[in-house]
């Protein structure tokens, strides 16, 4: 396992569900205590073993226990309870944070429905922020499918019913001219990262209108849990311009604007004003991530703002980075170069075009021209193979239109083109049929099959289908998690999950740390290479094309350090002087879910200085 330097990573051992205390990091188990009990080792990027940070607050009483940033529940000491005026507002019980985690876990395990688990975790986030992130970081692989894909898709569909407490800022088309005022409603001033959506293309679920707020909320939770970006520096935003989802318009319980989407000049003016208002208030180095915008707007918005603001589109650039990382790792199995491969995409939208452009950049590093690289990439959309002479092709698709007879189905395309890799990003469940998978296995010794659509219900094929139909020769990755697959001969594969969470938390941490003003595509290729480099031979042997999700905080930290080095090398950073120790510099920006101490700083003067003067 790749490890962080000692200062940058702290191995915390926690007792498993049986309960108990946690020994100090690095301390030997005392022999007098008897045999060492069963512990679960959890790797956490941490600020090091040091005393609790003491903070002061002017809030008292209920304001403390109702504030998720300050609330520690029953972890408040007796002294803190007296000083903060909350003694009596809590049960007469004193718990460590580890015991609190066990209490939440016990409640969590009683819930079988993923949506119920999601609601429990979001309620915890609303109540006790530090405990929420301590829980997530204790087993990120377990909780990520709940706080993000695939469960977040279901949560967005049910957002109106699951809505408990506002998280984030809802800005509507009717607020044009007043967005700066609306930003003043947000209680935090030091915002470093914003995730914004207009809810038109939520995962593979389509237009969910204002229910799409679940995406920025979930995404920013991963900024903190996976990357260590401070939660109070993050702002989720939903731009509500209406919805074209008739079911929502007819639903009396829908919580968004009940009219069809506003487009054209009014829409563009809203986005312009939003970008200007954000940077006026939070600075030009405030990171703005666009998320789940429809194809008609995603590329247009990205191209318009990418050289003006610190911004990126995760559906285009984040997906591209994680997909290319998986392909680069797969090259260590196929034992050849990118230029030796032919790619067929099921889908020609944001994700497909983003991946294709990053592949072209990667092939250019192997010596190909842009035109030569594009010839190795084929795309299939709803009308079939994209070829020259086909009508109604937009500019983005034209780049990948080749001289070839038109083919209507993906099966025909795969059979005719004979690609080495197929990549599904169109959210068409089952698009990789048995015939397609078997054809891929007949053309290639090690076929690359990426079913990247989210959520799981939209995946082009399952991991089991890929491994079984290719007799274990398929190199598989998916967008949503799949369980391990055991073949009849006993071989076991752990499917690689091409989760964007490998990319955006580390990119955000690095960009925020050195205050990068513009995020280039080179940043995402650098990130892809960094992720691929962290995949070991042992991981590849198990079928993994990505580091285990349990190591994602370590992955994000290494990406951030690499990007900080890159930024200073290419004069992209705004923090000066340049820090000598980049790891320590990045580490200083990482949020810790450990509780702070609210005990007052008490001390005394010398006795003679305290003498009371009398007449």
Instruction: Based on the residue annotation, tell me whether 58 is a catalytic residue of this protein.
Output: no
For residue 276, the tally of other CB atoms under 10 A from its CB is 14
Residue 35 has pLDDT above 70, yes or no: no
* pLDDT greater than 60 at residue 38: no
CA 302 to chain CA mean position, Å? 19
Give the active site residue among 118, 148, 282, 467. 148
DSSP H helical segments within 128-250, as ranges?
A: 129-138, 140-147, 151-157, 159-162, 179-183, 214-227, 246-249
Please tell me the predicted confidence (pLDDT) of residue 31.
38
Give the C-alpha separation, 510 to 506, whole Å.
6
Task: Look at residue 153 in the predicted model and tell me its pLDDT.
Answer: 87
Confidence of residue 456 (pLDDT cuts 50, 70, 90): confident
Q: CA nearest 593: which of 228, 234, 194, 232?
A: 228
pLDDT at position 24 is: 36
Q: Which of these ranges, 159-173, 217-231, 400-414, 430-444, has the smallest mean pLDDT?
A: 159-173
pTM of this prediction? 0.88
The pair of three-digit structure tokens given for residue 60, joined into one six-digit string: 């008292």
- Residue range 93-108: mean pLDDT, rounded: 97
Least-confidence region, from 175-179, 245-249, 495-499, 571-575? 495-499
Beta bridge partners of 402: 387
| Per-residue confidence (pLDDT) for residue 394, from 0 to 100 | 86
Through-space distance between the first and last CA atoms of the chain, rounded to whole angstroms = 75
Band of pLDDT at residue 33, cut at 50, 70 and 90: very low
Cα gap 478→496, rounded to integer Å: 6
**Local structure of 523: helix, strand or coil:** helix
- Is 557's pLDDT higher than 90? yes
pLDDT value for 52: 72
Give the tens place of pLDDT for each residue, 39-69.
Answer: 333 333 433 444 577 888 999 999 999 999 9
For the question of residue 309 being annotated catalytic, the response is no
- Expressed in percent and rounded to 5, the helix, strand and coil fractions of the chain are 45, 10, 45
Q: What is the pLDDT of residue 445?
A: 97
Q: In 253-368, which ranges are continuous DSSP H helix?
A: 265-282, 295-305, 319-334, 350-364
Q: d(Cα 334, Cα 341) in Å, to the nearest integer? A: 10
Catalytic residue among 219, 458, 558, 562: 219
Least confident range of 18-32, 456-470, 497-511 = 18-32
CB atoms within 10 A of CB 270: 23
DSSP string, 54-102: B---S--THHHHT-TTT--GGGS-HHHHHHHT-TTTS-S----HHHHHH
Is the confidence at residue 7, as pLDDT, over 70?
no
Q: What percent of the chain has pLDDT over 90?
A: 82
Q: Are strands 384-385 and 475-478 parallel, antiparallel or unpaired?
A: unpaired
pLDDT for 472: 96
Q: How confident is the model at residue 163 (pLDDT cuts 50, 70, 90)?
A: confident
Kindly provide the residue ranges of all beta strands, DSSP E only, lying in 530-592, ordered along the sequence. none
- In contact, 481 and 145? CB cutoff 8 Å: yes
Give 532-555 pLDDT, tens digit per residue.
999 999 999 999 999 998 999 999
Q: Give the model's pLDDT for residue 51.
A: 56
Give the contacts of 425 (CB within 8 A, at least 6 positions apart). Answer: 319, 345, 346, 347, 349, 351, 352, 355, 452, 453
Residue 12 — very low, low, confident or very high, per pLDDT cuts 50/70/90? very low
């Amino acid at each position: 396992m790749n490890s962080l330097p000692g200062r940058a990573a702290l191995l915390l051992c926690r007792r498993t569900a049986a309960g108990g205390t946690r020994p100090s990091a690095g301390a030997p188990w005392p022999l007098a205590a008897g045999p060492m009990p069963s512990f679960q080792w959890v790797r956490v990027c941490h600020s090091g073993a040091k005393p609790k940070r003491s903070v002061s607050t002017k809030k008292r009483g209920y304001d403390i226990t109702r504030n998720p940033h300050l609330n520690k529940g029953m972890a408040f000491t007796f002294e803190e309870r007296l000083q903060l005026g909350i003694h009596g507002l809590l049960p007469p019980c004193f718990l460590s944070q580890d015991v609190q985690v066990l209490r939440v876990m016990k409640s969590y395990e009683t819930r079988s429905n993923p949506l119920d688990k999601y609601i429990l975790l979001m309620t915890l986030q609303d109540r006790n922020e530090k405990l929420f992130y301590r829980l997530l970081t204790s087993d990120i692989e377990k909780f990520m499918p709940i706080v993000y894909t695939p469960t977040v898709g279901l949560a967005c569909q049910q957002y109106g019913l699951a809505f408990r407490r506002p998280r984030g800022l809802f800005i509507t088309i009717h607020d044009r001219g007043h967005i700066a005022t609306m930003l003043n409603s947000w209680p935090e001033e030091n915002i470093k990262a914003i995730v914004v959506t207009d809810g038109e293309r939520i995962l593979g679920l389509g237009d969910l209108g204002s229910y799409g707020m679940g995406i920025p909320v979930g995404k920013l939770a991963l900024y903190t849990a996976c990357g260590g970006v401070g939660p109070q520096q993050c702002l989720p935003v939903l731009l509500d311009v209406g919805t074209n989802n008739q079911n929502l318009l007819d639903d009396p319980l829908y919580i968004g604007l009940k009219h069809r989407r506003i487009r054209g000049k009014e829409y563009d003016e809203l986005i312009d004003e939003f970008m200007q208002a954000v940077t006026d208030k939070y600075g030009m180095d405030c990171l703005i991530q666009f998320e789940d915008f429809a194809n008609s707007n995603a590329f247009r918005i990205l191209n318009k703002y990418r050289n003006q603001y610190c911004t990126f589109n995760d559906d285009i650039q984040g997906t591209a980075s994680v997909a290319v990382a998986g392909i680069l790792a797969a090259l260590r199995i196929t034992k050849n170069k990118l230029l030796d491969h032919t790619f067929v995409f099921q889908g020609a939208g944001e994700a497909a075009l983003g991946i294709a452009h990053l592949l072209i950049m990667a092939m250019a590093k192997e010596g190909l021209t842009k035109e030569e690289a594009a010839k190795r990439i084929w795309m299939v959309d709803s009308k079939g193979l994209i070829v020259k002479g086909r009508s109604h092709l937009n500019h983005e698709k034209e780049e990948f239109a080749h001289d070839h007879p038109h083919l209507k189905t993906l099966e025909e395309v795969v059979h005719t083109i004979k690609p080495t890799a197929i990549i599904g990003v169109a959210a068409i469940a089952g698009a990789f049929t048995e015939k397609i998978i078997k054809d891929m296995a007949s053309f290639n010794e090690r076929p690359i099959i990426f079913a990247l659509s989210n959520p799981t219900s939209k995946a082009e094929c399952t991991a089991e289908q890929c491994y079984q139909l290719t007799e274990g020769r398929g190199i598989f990755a998916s967008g949503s998690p799949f369980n391990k697959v055991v073949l009849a001969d006993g071989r076991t594969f752990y499917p690689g999950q091409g989760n964007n969470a490998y990319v955006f938390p580390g990119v955000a941490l690095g960009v925020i740390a050195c205050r990068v003003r513009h995020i280039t595509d080179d940043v995402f290729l650098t990130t892809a290479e960094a992720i691929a480099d962290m995949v070991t031979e042992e991981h590849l042997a198990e079928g993994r094309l990505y580091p285990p999700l349990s190591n994602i905080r370590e992955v994000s930290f290494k990406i951030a350090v690499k990007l900080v080095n890159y930024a200073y090398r290419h004069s992209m950073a705004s923090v000066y002087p340049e820090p000598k120790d980049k790891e320590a510099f990045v580490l200083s920006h990482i949020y810790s879910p450990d509780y702070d101490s609210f005990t007052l700083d008490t001390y005394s003067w010398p006795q003679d200085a305290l003498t009371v003067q009398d007449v």
